[in-house]
Amino acid sequence: MTAPLLVVQDLCRTYRSRGWMGRGFVTRAVDGVSFQVMPGETLGLVGESGSGKSTTGRLVMGLEEPDAGRVVFAGTDLTALSPAARKPFRRRMQIVFQDPYAALNPRMRVGDFVEEPLVVHGLGGGAAQRREEVAGLFRTVGLDPAFMRRFPHEFSGGQRQRIGIARAIALQPEFLVADEPITALDVSIQAQIVNLFQDLQERMGLALLFIAHDLSMVRYLCNRVAVMLKGRIVEAGPTEAVFNDARHPYTRALLSAVPIPDPLRERGRRRIVFDAGGYAFPPDAALREVGGGHLVLQGAST
C-alpha cells in the first residue's frame, strides 16, 4: 500500500465579518473537511459558489491558517510547523489560480515570471542554465520559447494560463492545487488546458487537487471527486461511482444540470432542484461508506 501524499483532517475555517447595521456574523467557510490525495492522483473538488472550495485550497497550501484540523503532506503535519520550517514544502506544493490575468505581473517579461521561483529557491544553476530550463518549461506547456521576452498583454487567456502553469511546475512539485484553472477561459480552450494537466501528470507523476465548476471536465480528468456544500463534503468517491450512483440530493441536483452528449437521453434529462438555502445538515451527519470507497454524508438513522 502506498501512503497518501496529502491527508486533510477535520479542517475548519470561519470568517468573522460585519454585516448590515454593523452586526457581526460568522461564516463557516470550511467546516470539518477531511480527504486524502494519493501520489499522482487527481481529486476533483466541486460545489456551488461559496461552498468553501477555494478556502480549502488556500488552507492546504498554507496561504491561510485553519482554526482547527491538520494538513499532513508526505507524512509531515504542516499546520504544526513554523513558517521557516515550512519552506522546503513550499517547493513541493504549488497553486494555479482561476484568473490568468490577475496572476501575472503586467510589467514582467513572462520568461522572468516563470524563472522567478528558480531564482528564489536558488535552483537551476547559473543564469544561462536557468534560461535553458525556462525554455524547456515553455515547451512543456506548449509555448514557443521565443515568447519568453514578451509581456503578459501580448498573450491570450489560454496562453497566460499556460504561463501560470509553467511557473507552477518550475520547481517540479509533487502536488498542485488548480483553483478553477479553466473557468475564465473560452470553452474551445478549456479542453486544451485540461489535456495539458493530464499530460503533466503522466510526465511528472503530479498529484492534483482540481477545483472546478464544470462536471464534465471533472469526470474526464479526475480519479476521485468530492462534492462540497456549505463548507462540508457531502459526497466523495471514485469519479464513476459518484457520477453513476449519486446518493446525496445535492450531488444529484448538480449532476442533473449537466447536459448529456447523447441527444435521445438529453431529451429525457430532468433537472433536480435542490434548495441549498433551506437545507440543514442532520445533527449527527457523518460521511458513511456505501461501498467501494464511495462516501455519503448521512445522519445515523438514514
Per CB under 6 A, the list member of 4, 8, 43, 53 interacting with ligand ATP is 53
- For the chain, the C-alpha Rg in angstroms (whole number) is 20
**Binding status of residue 238 toward ligand ATP by CB under 6 A:** no
**Binding status of residue 15 toward ligand ATP by CB under 6 A:** yes
Q: How far is the CB of 285 from ligand ATP (least distance, A)?
A: 19
Q: Which residue is nearest to Mg ion (CB)?
A: 54
Rounded CA separation 175/167 (Å): 14
Grid coordinates representing 247 are 446518493
Per CB under 6 A, the list member of 51, 140, 239, 251 interacting with ligand ATP is 51
Among ligand ATP, Mg ion, none, what binds residue 301 when CB lies within 5 to 8 Å by partner kind?
Answer: none
The smaller minimum CB distance to ligand ATP, of residues 54 and 161, is found at: 54
Number of residues that bind ligand ATP (CB under 6 A): 12
Q: How far is the CB of 94 from Mg ion (least distance, A)?
A: 17
Per CB under 6 A, the list member of 2, 49, 82, 244 interacting with ligand ATP is 49
The smaller minimum CB distance to Mg ion, of residues 54 and 94, is found at: 54
**Binding status of residue 76 toward ligand ATP by CB under 6 A:** no
Q: How far is the CB of 29 from ligand ATP (least distance, A)?
A: 3
Q: How far is the CB of 74 from ligand ATP (least distance, A)?
A: 25
The smaller minimum CB distance to ligand ATP, of residues 29 and 226, is found at: 29
Q: How far is the CB of 44 from Mg ion (least distance, A)?
A: 14
How many of the other CB atoms lie within 10 Å of CB of 193? 23
Q: Which stretch binds ligand ATP (CB under 6 A): 48-56, 110-118, 123-131, 286-294?
A: 48-56
**Binding status of residue 50 toward ligand ATP by CB under 6 A:** yes
Q: How far is the CB of 44 from ligand ATP (least distance, A)?
A: 13
The smaller minimum CB distance to ligand ATP, of residues 148 and 221, is found at: 221
Q: Which stretch binds ligand ATP (CB under 6 A): 50-58, 111-119, 135-143, 272-280?
A: 50-58
CA 51 centroid distance within chain: 13
Site string for ligand ATP, 18-37 (x = CB under 6 A): ---------x-x--------
Per CB under 6 A, the list member of 4, 44, 52, 164 interacting with ligand ATP is 52
Question: What DSSP line would sit under 76-119, residue for residue?
Answer: EEGGGS-HHHHHHHHHHEEEE-S-HHHHS-TTS-HHHHHHHHHH
Residues that bind Mg ion (CB under 5 A): 54
Question: What DSSP line would sit under the chain, residue for residue?
Answer: -PPPSEEEEEEEEEEEEE-GGG-EEEEEEEEEEEEEE-TT-EEEEEESTTSSHHHHHHHHHTSS--SEEEEEETTEEGGGS-HHHHHHHHHHEEEE-S-HHHHS-TTS-HHHHHHHHHHHTT-SSSHHHHHHHHHHHHHHTT--GGGGGS-GGGS-HHHHHHHHHHHHHTT--SEEEEESTTTTS-HHHHHHHHHHHHHHHHHH--EEEEEES-HHHHHHH-SEEEEEETTEEEEEEEHHHHHHS--SHHHHHHHHTSPPSSHHHHHT--PPP--STT----TT-EEEEEETTEEEEE-TT-
Residue 150's contacts (CB-CB under 8 Å, 6 or more residues apart) are: 109, 110
**Binding status of residue 11 toward ligand ATP by CB under 6 A:** no
Binding site for ligand ATP (CB under 6 A): 15, 17, 27, 29, 47, 49-55
